[in-house]
């Protein structure tokens, strides 16, 4: 399960990087909350 979570985080950060190139910060605010939950 730990490996699945690690893969999910890598995939998630890949999506964040990709989305950051395409969208303004307004759309990323909700994702920032998820990001904080994953980080801590």
Tens digit of each residue's pLDDT (9 = 90 or more) over 1-40: 677 777 777 777 777 776 655 555 555 566 666 666 776 6
Q: Is pTM, for the whole model, over 0.75?
A: no
Nearest to 17 by CA among 7, 26, 28: 28
- In whole angstroms, give the CA distance from residue 25 to residue 7: 25
Looking at residue 24, its pLDDT comes to 53
């Amino acid at each position: 399960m730990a490996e699945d979570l690690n893969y999910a985080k890598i995939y998630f950060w890949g999506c964040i990087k990709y989305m950051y190139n395409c969208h303004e910060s307004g759309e990323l605010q909700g994702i920032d909350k998820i990001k904080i939950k994953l980080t801590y």
